[in-house]
Chains A and B, each alone.
Chain A
């Protein structure tokens, strides 16, 4: 069916709705057909009136048709691209706005918005940043005014001797520099020659000497200030001074007194909760959900905050969720055995706080326990193994 052409094409070339009036308007339809003027969507609008669509290009051929058929025509509506186009030309502001938007979008998309340097130490990063700046790669610069990444890579690599390799990639609006730095063996600054001495009275447990010569061995009893590792090596008389280095672990005794009450009051959550949701915009707090305050006698508040970020930039919005939990006081009664157990546990953590992070408890023993005023007082003896070495410089002329 050749008639079933896509009418949508007409929207492109433009068409008008025409009102045809005459004594015998059917004649108009027939005459149009004879002259190959395309008309469509013909409907009756009155006794002797039709409304139909005519292509814009055919409008100028309508006059003879009207004369022949004795009809009068009136144009009603205009449709299609040519009219929209004309309308747009009239509304210059709208058109310039749209054009400006596209232009700005294009320019912004071709700008450098960020320069990322990854894998470089702060010093090298600063250096690269300076060179990159000199090349003109900075926020606001247009990408098409910059050399291609391969060239940048070459130039930057030539100028930064500390980097083994610098990879340059463009990720959208971000220039990304991947740096692999030359790794030079780090030279430790020479330490002053010195001995290691005991910093407290202890029984040597084990020792690990990196530099220097050990003076003590395991199971030796040392007093505070006793020499552990000497900073002199070599034959007698021809000794060389070094900085003694190592770890000497000694067993230290420690006595702790821990008191634990037999009756303990604590707060337990009842399961009743109340949630509040808030949005924070800069310093303003706007409650979103959950207003007022619940009437809990005892309560525990939990606050969770979350910040929002867009493309890696933090936005000045935060979301806060407040959970208020109802609590009720509860009483716990301990038996004397349980109290001692708890005292031991409490003692362990308390004791370890007194020593270095490498300290460990080798043994514990309850020396004494007494019950007074509903409390248990426990005296515990601990054997602790800790690093007891302390540096002592060799005094010149000693």
Chain B
């Protein structure tokens, strides 16, 4: 059933040309150089340290590596991270 719903959503986005992030609750990531990263639609912090940040997403994790990380702001679905960002990586769980 869940898979079915997901398939319908994906099909709708593709055929009706709707924005993917709004339709499918996908994370939207905005970066300003290597200084800021702004993530919408995250599902919580799994790990946070100076060099690493791991965020839960609907279908996996987002792994950000770098140095001197500071969470400037955090809201239930948004997060603004500051520091020297080296990599942003998707980790699929299924």
Binding site for B on A (CB under 8 A): 1-5, 25-26, 29-30, 32-34, 36, 38-44, 50, 52
Contact = CB atoms under 8 A, between A and B. Distances in A.
A29 B48 contact: yes
B70 A41 contact: yes
A3 B75 contact: yes
B48 A3 contact: no
Interface in B41-57: 44-50
Contacts, number: 58
B87 interface: no
Given A1-B38, A42-B48, A29 B74 contact: yes
> How many B residues are at the interface, by size bracket?
20 to 34
Contacts of A30: 44-45
Given A33-B74, A33-B76, A43 B44 contact: no
Interface of B: 30, 38, 44-50, 69-76, 78-80
B interface, over-half SS: strand
Contacts of B70: 41-43
Contacts of A52: 71
B79 to A, nearest CB: 8
A39 B47 contact: no
B74 A39 contact: yes
A382 B25 CA distance: 120
Contact of A42 (B30, B46, B47, B71): B71
Contacts of B73: 3-5, 38, 40
Contact of B38 (A3, A25, A34): A3
Nearest to B47: A26
A26 to B, nearest CB: 5
B57 to A, nearest CB: 14
A186 to B, nearest CB: 87
5 closest residue pairs by CB, A with B: A42-B71, A3-B73, A30-B44, A43-B70, A26-B45
Given A3-B73, A42-B71, A33 B44 contact: yes
A5 B80 CA distance: 11
A187 to B, nearest CB: 92
A interface, over-half SS: mixed
Contact of B72 (A25, A32, A34, A41): A41
A39 B80 CA distance: 12
A25 B45 CA distance: 10
A3 B39 CA distance: 10
A44 B49 contact: yes
B74 A42 contact: yes
Contacts of A26: 45-48
26 contacts: A1-B38, A1-B78, A3-B38, A3-B72, A3-B80, A26-B46, A26-B47, A29-B45, A29-B48, A29-B71, A29-B74, A30-B44, A30-B45, A33-B44, A34-B76, A36-B76, A38-B73, A40-B72, A40-B73, A40-B74, A41-B70, A42-B71, A42-B74, A43-B50, A44-B48, A44-B69
A2 B77 CA distance: 11
Nearest to A34: B76
B72 A2 contact: no
A30 B45 CA distance: 6
B48 A4 contact: no
B89 to A, nearest CB: 18
A44 B78 CA distance: 19
Given A42-B48, A44-B49, A4 B80 contact: yes
A358 to B, nearest CB: 92
A48 to B, nearest CB: 10
A41 B75 contact: no
Interface centre among A2, A33, A38, by most B CB within 10 Å?
Answer: A33
A43 B46 CA distance: 15
Contacts of B80: 1, 3-4
A215 B92 CA distance: 136
Nearest to A1: B38
Nearest to B73: A3
